[in-house]
Amino acid sequence: MHGNGETSGELPTAQLVAVADRNAGNGTRHTVKIRDVRKAFGSFQVLDGLTFDFADDAITTILGPSGTGKSVLLKHVVGLLEPDAGQVMVFDQDIWSASERERQELRKSFGVLFQDGALFGSMNIYDNVAFPLRKHTRKPESEIREIVMGRLEEVGLLAAAKKAPGEVSGGMKKRAGFARALVMNPKVVLFDEPDSGLDPVRTSLLNDLILKVHKEHGGTYVLVTHDIQTARKVSDYIGVLWKGKLVHYGPAKEALDSPKPFVRQFLSGNSVGPLGMD
Ligand SMILES: Nc1ncnc2c1ncn2[C@@H]1O[C@H](COP(=O)(O)OP(=O)(O)OP(=O)(O)O)[C@@H](O)[C@H]1O
């Protein structure tokens, strides 16, 4: 992204950071910063020098065509993939300069909701949600119970606590995954296509839930989706990835009203424009 902002239509780094600063309002540090991150698989340059800060206490949606590197970006943020170059800073610490132990600690500040909820099929919903607390804390079962029941109530799953993941609907699995992602009180919550496989009404209900929980607890939420309605509904900020670059990042309204041809085409779902099937 450095040095070629004009040709690609990207905002220069300083402006991207300024956008995030405006959101922080009082100059507070940003929890997650991406600095010139590059990643290639073989000869395919998936991330081609990304630099931006995720806005704290806001919901940022990352949009972009299939295969453009959205999931790869999320995996860099949680430290599951190491960049070829550049830094992923979490709480001002470069996660790949940190030791494996420090990285594990940093990961505890993340809640992650993968596409299918990633629940353990052999455990009921309650035990799935309790899992991170049992694994990462020494809290007694009585306290774990209080936390888990609170989260299950929040996502409307108290009645399903004893059910196995295989016995509940896709929407319920996602809500259970969301409850589990929140159980350690994470500062950063990442959603990889939370709406995939859900009908429009359940997608809308899940979006309401994301907004409600975010309003209540705050935090840096990052959501990858293909669903423009979801982006319209939940986003404070929108980033658009294309061909390894962040072609837009800013307040949601700015993205939705963007005059840039690719951003316009993508956000309107128009078949005519710079984006083709390749
Ligand atoms: N571990 C890996 N090894 C090799 N290639 C990979 C790996 N992970 C991702 N890729 C490739 O990187 C590219 C970006 O993948 P990614 O899953 O991030 O896309 P995406 O934007 O999330 O797509 P979609 O919207 O379809 O989920 C794809 O071409 C994918 O095949």
Above pLDDT 90, what percent of the chain?
A: 31
What's the confidence (pLDDT) of residue 136?
A: 86
Confidence of residue 15 (pLDDT cuts 50, 70, 90): very low
Neighbours of 249 (CB within 10 A): 27
Give the rounded distance of the alpha carbon of 89 from its chain centre: 15
Relative to beta strand 220-224, strand 188-192 is parallel
Q: ipTM score of the complex?
A: 0.96
Question: What per-residue confidence (pLDDT) applies to 272?
Answer: 62
What pLDDT sits at residue 141? Answer: 96
Q: What span, in angstroms and rounded, lies between the C-alpha atoms of 77 and 79?
A: 5
CB of 175 within 6 A of ligand 1: the answer is no
pLDDT at 262 over 50: yes
User: Would the CA dihedral through 158, 161, 167, 171 be positive or negative?
Assistant: positive
Section 66-74 average pLDDT: 89
5-109+186-268 is classed CATH 2.170.190.11: no
Strand order of the sheet with strand 245-251? 110-113, 188-192, 220-224, 59-63, 237-242, 245-251
Residues 6+ apart with CB under 8 A from 165: 117, 119, 120, 121, 123, 125, 128, 173, 176
Q: 250: Cβ below 6 Å to ligand 1?
A: no
pLDDT mean across residues, the chain: 82
Return the residue whose CA atom lies nearest to atom 29 of ligand 1. Answer: 67
Look at ligand 1, atom 27, and give the residue with the nearest C-alpha.
66
Statement: residue 197 has pLDDT above 60: yes
Number of neighbouring beta carbons within 10 Å of residue 147: 19
Judge if pTM exceeds 0.95: no
The domain limits of the chain are: 5-109+186-268
What does the pLDDT read at residue 18? 41
Atom 16 (ligand 1): residue with closest C-alpha?
69
Mean pLDDT confidence for 7-18: 40
Q: Which residue, among 71, 29, 76, has the nearest Cα to 53 in the 3D structure?
A: 29
Contact between residue 224 and residue 60 where contact means Cβ atoms under 8 Å apart: no
What mean pLDDT do residues 98-113 have?
85
Cα(139) to centroid(ligand 1), Å = 38
pLDDT in tens, 115-161: 665 788 899 999 999 999 998 889 999 999 999 999 898 888 899 99
pLDDT bin (cut points 50, 70, 90) of residue 235 is very high
Residue 84 corresponds to which amino acid? D
Residue 258 corresponds to which tokens in the numbers above? 């963007």
Query: Which residues have C-beta within 8 Å of that of residue 51, sequence separation ≥ 6?
Result: 1, 2, 13, 16, 17, 34, 35, 36, 37, 86, 246
Pocket residue to mutate for ligand 1, from 38, 41, 80, 245, most atoms within 8 A of Cβ? 41
pLDDT, mean of residues 103-117 = 79
Is the predicted pLDDT of residue 83 greater than 90, yes or no? yes
